[in-house]
Homo-oligomer: A and B are copies of this chain.
Amino acid sequence: MSLIVQKYGGSSVADAESIKRVAKRIVETRKAGNEVVVVVSAMGDTTDELMDLANKVVPQPSGRELDMLLTAGERIAMALLAMAIKSLGVDARSYTGSQAGMITDAQHGSARIVDVTPGRVRAAIDAGAVAIVAGFQGFNRGTGDITTLGRGGSDTTAVALAAALGASVCEIYTDVDGVFTTDPRMVPSARKIDRITSEEMLELAAAGAKVLYIRAVEYARRHGVTLHVRSSFNNNEGTLVVNPVDGESNVEEPLIAGVAADLSQAKITVVGVPDIPGKAAQIFTTVAGSGANIDMIVQNGSLALTGRTDISFTLPKTDGPATLAALESAKDDIGFETLQFDDQIGKLSLVGAGMRTNAGVSAKLFTALFEAGINIEMISTSEIRISVVTRADIIKQAVTVVHTAFDLDSNDGEAQVYGGTGR
């Protein structure tokens, strides 16, 4: 008998009908002879509605009481789902994060899991019941308070439970068919990926792919949990995110797993930095102090005539204002001339474990972009990823030509893209 953890997001349980549909799927999985643990998010827009309510009461709700408020959302969803499953003749019991043993630190709003003690969940499945666990929420032992895990928290709950229970697979149900070679809304010829390594998935998620949260993928990778990303609206196989054991050959891996686009970044250029040792460290210490997550960094080479250089870096657009202010206030110390802020950039990332053993990937990438007349402003690479920054308004074209150059288009999709059906 296999133990399967299934995670359903808010869009899969948005109303009573959806809950009944999901219950039916869970019951089928149970009746097929599996032990089933379900992690569920709050229904549809419940979390946003609770947040709106909090905003009406106080200007900037946060901390302990906000977590107490928001955790009502999954509580509602999980109780209704348990009722729906029971009405189909299968025993089901719902558990809060606290009851399910999701022990976290005390960082309200973005708590980290420090231990998972799912004794009650284990007892429920041992008794033949389906266990429904509230996603996103945890419990701090020191304060005795309820916490929340922050963005993507329900995925993390599911993975952590799967690891603690030794589940054979953690199924992440969503409203798309799986992970695609690129965003299908941007490139209709995008192809569903059947199998991807967690390493590649991490790079794709970090590069802007939305289907899974980095944190959940990291947790799955660290604990050897196999993820299966699939649609809750059909029975198609989705995408398996696997963890090849060390030394396992990668020869059968495709060269490239996918292409990700990210339009959420901006670029700051620090112009006229004195070209003397220690200036870069000074700049990035200042930037780190503002709390920004910087991504790519480029130094434009010293200009011999002036003894000054330009340093550019990318960061989330939302971190822009605070970072600019921090740099401006350190202007005299650092001694730069001026700051430029550019929020019209797009980042394209090519990800694939095959890059390790295949030379020529970057040459092929640059050639494809050059032939399409697309200018590259910044470049950064990791072992299995190449990222380039271009203008935001040509990112779709860039992704399309790169997707084609690396033979990622589906046969079906090619016809759509080049045939101009406009779908």
Contacts and interface: CB of A to CB of B under 8 A. Distances in A.
B65 A50 contact: no
- Identify whether the interface residues of A are mostly helix, strand, loop, or mixed: helix
28 contacts: A16-B53, A16-B56, A20-B57, A53-B76, A53-B80, A54-B79, A54-B80, A57-B80, A57-B83, A57-B84, A58-B83, A58-B84, A59-B87, A65-B79, A65-B83, A65-B93, A66-B83, A68-B78, A68-B82, A69-B76, A69-B79, A69-B80, A69-B83, A72-B72, A72-B73, A72-B75, A72-B79, A120-B144
A93 B144 CA distance: 12
A147 interface: no
Contact of A72 (B54, B66, B76, B86): B76
A93 B108 CA distance: 14
A264 interface: no
> Closest 10 interchain pairs by CB?
A69-B79, A16-B56, A68-B79, A72-B72, A58-B87, A72-B75, A65-B82, A65-B79, A58-B83, A65-B83
A25 to B, nearest CB: 15
Nearest to A52: B16
A82 B64 CA distance: 10
Interface residues of A, number: 35
B53 A65 contact: no
Given A16-B57, A58-B86, A65-B83, 8 more contacts: A16-B53, A54-B83, A65-B80, A68-B94, A69-B75, A69-B80, A75-B75, A120-B144
A71 interface: yes
A78 B120 CA distance: 27
Contacts of A53: 16, 76, 80
